Structure 1
């Protein structure tokens, strides 16, 4: 029997007829005419597959398939490219010496904006009526979350004419610091500073303790809503206080509205900016650290230095769900950290995690490298004294190296204080945070990188100390990621953008509190008075 062999690589004879039939049917139906290109391409892929199976080059299949599978490029700012940008800009950073150090010229004082503290003039010193009872609160969270609770409690005690018992600190599962009030703050100074405004005692009197069987949990706990108003405390809490002689509010975190009557605001000011000072062991070591930092910088900058609150600890990076350049290993470490800290929270039904959207939205913690490049672009050169306030940096060997390359005169708690000096503070995160707080408070420039209570309080405290100006850099991270997205960006353009950011930070350094703002961040006009020009 004679068999006609098909040439190698040729399509089956039926295939063209099949394609022609399909096209004919489609053309008869004008309603589906728009589907012709799609059907045609599908047929081409089918035939290409046949050719490939018969030994022809598979490149056709690969090319066509890739065309369909190709994803659009990520939106600008979606991917971490800062390391590539640094490699490109580093030689130009090193060569650029045609500018003065921004440390000496960062802030331009506005002659029309002069503010100073006037709490003592505003707080009534006419004496206290008999107490209505005792207020007991429990402060939770880290150092500055506790600070909010303490100052708000002073204001509430003043409103209720209650005697405030020195606040108890709740042992937080994240901070894991068992410190008591007196370990962090100066109890006697706190009581003395408030004595003409609010009564404060260290413990309940014995007769009241006996009434409650020496068990504070037996005292009625008023479950207070967050950001409660003055009227809530007068209508709900005061009657119970008068009836029982003592009330307890636990937890007491953000339990008072931002805007309350002026007298309560002034008590907040007095508590935060005057009555609360750190305990003697913290004050003594912190002052030594500041003195050592100033001494090291005397010859270069007259003792001035920049402080950076760097939030690049493992838990912060993990919680952000952002990706950096550590590859599969880093992703696995972050997944373990999330599971360890939040037990499946990030895998709940309906939860969508988008590292790209997080980065574009400015929600990713800045790496040490990104902070360093930003500061160099702003004009802070390699002679700048830099203090880094932080916890344990994630993968510090890798991520801190470029920041030290950019700023060789970099200091931390561990370099300014000896191991023996720091020993009493180890395993006490709030006490260590108090050292960082003091170092940042006295710097010429403060840089915040991620938000939170630490910069919230610190910027307000700096406004209070420095005539109303925060003297702080708070970068717009949504803009910053765009400039760090282009490895081919020119150094002069990068500098121009960073210097615009510095000017913006200078312009917003002064700020009056708005109704929904906290006076701990914006002490004007509640805690400060504007001075006449001249």
Structure 2
């Protein structure tokens, strides 16, 4: 499928949308009016055909009852089985690595269940990192041992158990061939991932087939990658075949000359809003094109749709084979030397422009950012009336390398510990990294880990490079983002889902005032205070309960994980 570099809401962005006519079959099967007694259904069969289909439906229903039997003896039991890492572990210590997966992953029902060889097992489809290292040795302080110690996890393990009603409706939805949803995803890798997750959920809500999402050309990095360049498209289709029908392109029966693109989607939309807004159009035209989905779908959905989000994020969105291969190779090179910390260091030029913050590198560099911001004021995101100091103490600025270094030392990170830096090239180059390199000399990047030519195929492919960072970061013993964002949230949830790997979320609002007290606080007291401030993120998993703003992808407990 072709990609557009210039997309406007009044024009189609796709080369494949160039000869569209409504299918005669769709005209027969659909009436423009919805059945008022069934507001949640997108399908509106023409009454003239209703009796024609009744016999077929009843006959198929009888076969369905027999064919689509839940694969578990007790479909409501959240049982678990252990899936160990494919990589060797050092010992059976409490720090050794195990992943717990529920056999109830195989819960959605469809005709594909009869073709076992083509159905991926969810218990084996999650991206599995290298095992956490076992930390031992009497020469290590208690603070350093505590730094490497993995969270307890409180017994929570992956548990995607779909309701029986969801599974029964899957038989029909997974065969949909009349209504199609096309989604245009924008932004960087993890922003695109979020939109793809929501695209699958919206397709399920509308009972429509999903066309493999189109990735809009990134305006900042100029990345022209398509879906199959970054993700394993066949794995994506197979993993979701019991939930939503996924196709590579629109069928010829659904192509029309001009197709409007829906971009005016408010924030926090519910399934009811989606049905009431798009069902009629989808039934009449057979195709719906959505753009600008980023963070628009409500974070609070029915339980089965929350589970579907986790299924897409942690199972279906597996990286393409070339990315997975080089990512695993570099992760092993990092891992083999011992435990390591991965930091998503947000020091890129565009980050400083968008956040309205100072770089900490001096007036020369700050002037460059100020000029960029003045030239492109639309890049500055949110809270325009705040000063730099107000932004910083509100936690809206990325931590610079010096602040990251101080926090790591205060939390007990050993100076000889290995540190992996994920993210784009920092503004200011080596000067920006100098404070961190001084305190943690064993600092590595993917370019330093790679050997001659190994990354050549990914030049000018920022999403692929970000995917490599993701793979290496997932295998780290400790992960910390320097600034909130899609990568940090994705890593937080993914690390919880695959075994509760330690994730440090800097509490910038609480900790930055202490950074200003250079001489009034001893190092010991500063460290004690930092560990106290971050005690929640260093301990047991945080639940999404009672916090409507939390995304299940970042907080998979308890919707996607259970402790029974």
Give the TM-score category using the shorter length. Answer: 0.7 to 0.9
Pairwise CA distance, 1:128:
2.1
Q: Is the 8 A contact 2:231 2:318 kept in 1?
A: yes
- Compared with structure 1, are the counterparts of its residues 417 and 101 closer, same or farther at alpha carbon in structure 2 (3 Å cutoff)? farther
Pairwise CA distance, 1:394:
1.7
Pairwise CA distance, 1:262:
2.2
Q: Is the 8 A contact 1:224 1:255 kept in 2?
A: yes
Paired position in structure 2 for 1:232: 273
Q: Is the 8 A contact 1:141 1:172 kept in 2?
A: yes
CA–CA separation in structure 1 for the residues paired with 2:435 and 2:261: 55
| 2:134 equivalent to 1:102 | no
Q: Is the 8 A contact 1:314 1:337 kept in 2?
A: no
| 2:539 equivalent to 1:507 | yes
Gaps of 5+ in 1: 1-96, 298-303
| 2:405 equivalent to 1:405 | no
CA–CA separation in structure 2 for the residues paired with 1:108 and 1:182: 35
Q: Is the 8 A contact 1:103 1:305 kept in 2?
A: no
Pairwise CA distance, 1:105:
4.7
| 2:294 equivalent to 1:253 | yes
Q: Is the 8 A contact 1:318 1:334 kept in 2?
A: yes
Paired position in structure 2 for 1:329: 364
Paired position in structure 1 for 2:512: 481
Normalising by structure 1, report the TM-score.
Answer: 0.73
Aligned length: 419
Pairwise CA distance, 1:378:
1.4
Pairwise CA distance, 1:220:
6.1
Q: Is the 8 A contact 1:101 1:384 kept in 2?
A: no
Name the SS for the 1:289 alignment partner: helix
The correspondence for 2:190, drawn from 117, 136, 144, is 144
Pairwise CA distance, 1:325:
4.7
Pairwise CA distance, 1:340:
4.1
- Compared with structure 1, are the counterparts of its residues 161 and 455 closer, same or farther at alpha carbon in structure 2 (3 Å cutoff)? same
Q: Is the 8 A contact 2:282 2:288 kept in 1?
A: yes
CA–CA separation in structure 1 for the residues paired with 2:304 and 2:559: 10
For residues 288-332 of structure 1, the C-alpha deviation after alignment (integer angstroms, 9 at most, x for no partner) is: 0111011122xxxxxx21111111122222333334554432332
- Compared with structure 1, are the counterparts of its residues 508 and 323 closer, same or farther at alpha carbon in structure 2 (3 Å cutoff)? farther
CA–CA separation in structure 2 for the residues paired with 1:344 and 1:409: 35
- The RMSD of aligned alpha carbons is 2.6
Pairwise CA distance, 1:344:
9.3
Where is the helix percentage greater, Structure 1 or Structure 2? 1
CA–CA separation in structure 1 for the residues paired with 2:265 and 2:378: 28
Normalising by structure 2, report the TM-score.
Answer: 0.69
Pairwise CA distance, 1:253:
2.2
Name the SS for the 2:336 alignment partner: helix
CA–CA separation in structure 2 for the residues paired with 1:283 and 1:230: 34
Q: Is the 8 A contact 1:122 1:266 kept in 2?
A: no
- Compared with structure 1, are the counterparts of its residues 504 and 179 closer, same or farther at alpha carbon in structure 2 (3 Å cutoff)? same
| 2:171 equivalent to 1:128 | yes
Paired position in structure 1 for 2:341: 306
Gaps of 5+ in 2: 1-138
CA–CA separation in structure 2 for the residues paired with 1:311 and 1:345: 16
Paired position in structure 2 for 1:319: 354
- Compared with structure 1, are the counterparts of its residues 236 and 352 closer, same or farther at alpha carbon in structure 2 (3 Å cutoff)? closer
| 2:489 equivalent to 1:456 | yes
